[in-house]
């Protein structure tokens, strides 16, 4: 199938882009890497009258250390961040390598993946796990939207139709923390059936803080708050992780589809939470 005709604009500045979005509202769609939008156009699941292609806005393809973490411009590609992360950011690198295949990551942007908000996507869950945020601009101003308020539902975020995400802010790991990232998919490169991103910080042999974000477990990525609360102050043992994961898994409401039943997803979520937490606490304990 092929995309239907649309009116095409390629603004050369953020101001020009948000003016177009203000003018066309819900009739317009932003085009970044196109790796989710063009399939939607080809399937005719989306049929915007106007495309606002941001690829020609200069200076938006940056990845830099800022705000005690990373500031990632709207045109930074997934592959670009993956190369950047090769040196010293294994958590990011691991998450990125689960996103589709290399050819998709060459064009796909970090901001586009977050704006698209597929409930089974890795990067929204990573943002949620690290308590990151996005900067959204419209013709009437700029606001920062924390990840916890961003992901509303299936392919739906708190970003308005007249807003452009200009930057993704990804904080680093807390001091002394380790990470775990695991997913189960039918084939390498597919969207996950279920996935988990976890961070554990230890103090005096106990869990100072645990964070767990799940994807593929409902209409949007979620933090496993019951598990996080149950773990604070506990000793980092398999038994503790299993009990916390059981509590969190019980509260999940995953979808059932062609690929897996809700029960199967809940069970995989439990297993992956235990393993990701164990891996995170192992790394927190280890030399680096």
Partner 1 sequence: MPKTLLRLRVNGEDHDVAAATHKTLLEVLREEMGLTGTKHGCELGECGTCTVLVDGQPVLSCLALPIELEGREVTTVEGMAVGGRLHPLQQAFAELGAAQCGYCTPGILLTARALLAENPKPTRQEIRTALAGNLCRCTGYTKILDAVELAALRSTGGEP
Ligand X SMILES: Cc1cc2nc3c(=O)[nH]c(=O)nc-3n(C[C@H](O)[C@H](O)[C@H](O)COP(=O)(O)OP(=O)(O)OC[C@H]3O[C@@H](n4cnc5c(N)ncnc54)[C@H](O)[C@@H]3O)c2cc1C
- Tokens standing for residue 139: 């013709």
Distance in angstroms (rounded) separating the CA atoms of residues 70 and 214: 22
Which residues are CB-contacts of 200 (< 8 A; sequence separation ≥ 6)?
Answer: 177, 178, 179, 180, 207, 209, 210, 211, 231, 236, 277, 280, 281, 284
**Shortest distance in whole angstroms from residue 178 CB to ligand X:** 23
Dihedral angle over CA of 136, 142, 147, 148, nearest 10? -130
- The reply to whether 2 sits near partner 1 by the rule CB under 8 A is yes
Please, which residue, 101 or 160, has the CB nearer to partner 1? Answer: 101
Interaction of residue 5 with partner 1, rule CB under 8 A: yes
* From partner 1, ligand X, none, interface partner of 188 (C-beta below 5 to 8 A by class): partner 1
C-beta of 39 vs 239, nearer to partner 1: 39
- Interface residue with partner 1, options 39, 233, 239, 250 (CB under 8 A): 39
At residue 72, what are phi and psi to the nearest 5 degrees?
-120, 115
CA distance 260 to 172: 33
Residue 232: closest CA among 198, 252, 202: 202
Please report whether residue 35 would count as binding partner 1 according to CB under 8 A. Answer: yes
Are residues 220 and 150 in contact, defined by beta-carbon separation less than 8 angstroms?
Answer: no
Residue 12 binds partner 1, judged by CB under 8 A: no
Q: Which residue has the tokens 């973490």?
A: 69
* Interaction mask 83-112, partner 1, x per CB under 8 A: -----------------xxxxx-xx-----
Answer yes or no: are the C-beta atoms of 191 and 202 closer than 8 Å: no
Residue 3: which of partner 1, ligand X, none does it interact with, CB under 5 to 8 A by kind?
partner 1
CB of 48 vs ligand X, minimal distance in Å? 8
Please state the closest distance from residue 241 (CB atom) to ligand X, in A.
26
Nearer to partner 1, 38 or 208 (CB): 38
Which residues contact partner 1 by CB under 8 A?
1-6, 8, 10, 31, 34-35, 38-39, 41-43, 53, 55-56, 79, 100-104, 106-107, 188-189
């Amino acid at each position: 199938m092929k995309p239907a005709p649309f009116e095409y604009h390629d603004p050369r500045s953020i101001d020009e882009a948000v003016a177009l979005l203000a003018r066309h509202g819900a009739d317009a769609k932003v085009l970044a890497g196109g790796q989710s939008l063009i399939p939607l156009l080809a399937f005719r699941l989306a049929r915007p009258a106007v495309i606002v292609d941001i690829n020609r806005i200069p200076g938006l393809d940056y990845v830099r250390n800022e705000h005690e973490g990373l500031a990632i411009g709207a045109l930074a590609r997934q592959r670009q961040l993956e190369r950047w992360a090769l040196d010293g950011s294994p958590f990011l690198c691991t998450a990125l390598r689960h996103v589709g295949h290399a050819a998709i990551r060459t064009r796909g942007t970090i901001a586009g993946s977050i704006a698209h908000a597929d409930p089974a996507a890795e990067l929204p869950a990573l943002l949620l796990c690290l308590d990151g945020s996005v900067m959204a601009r419209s013709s009437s101003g700029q606001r920062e939207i924390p990840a916890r308020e961003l992901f509303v539902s299936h392919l739906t975020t708190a970003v308005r139709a007249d807003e452009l995400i200009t930057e993704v802010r990804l904080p680093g790991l807390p001091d002394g923390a380790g990470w775990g990232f695991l997913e189960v998919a039918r084939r390498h490169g597919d969207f996950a059936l279920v996935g988990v991103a976890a961070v554990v910080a230890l103090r005096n042999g106990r869990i100072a803080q645990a964070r767990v974000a799940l994807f593929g477990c409902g209409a949007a990525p979620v933090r496993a708050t019951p598990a996080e609360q149950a773990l604070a102050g506990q000793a980092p043992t398999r038994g503790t992780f299993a009990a916390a994961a059981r509590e969190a898994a019980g509260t999940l409401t995953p979808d059932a589809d062609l690929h897996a039943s809700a029960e199967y997803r809940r069970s995989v979520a439990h297993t992956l939470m235990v393993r990701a937490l164990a891996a995170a606490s192992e790394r927190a304990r280890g030399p680096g």
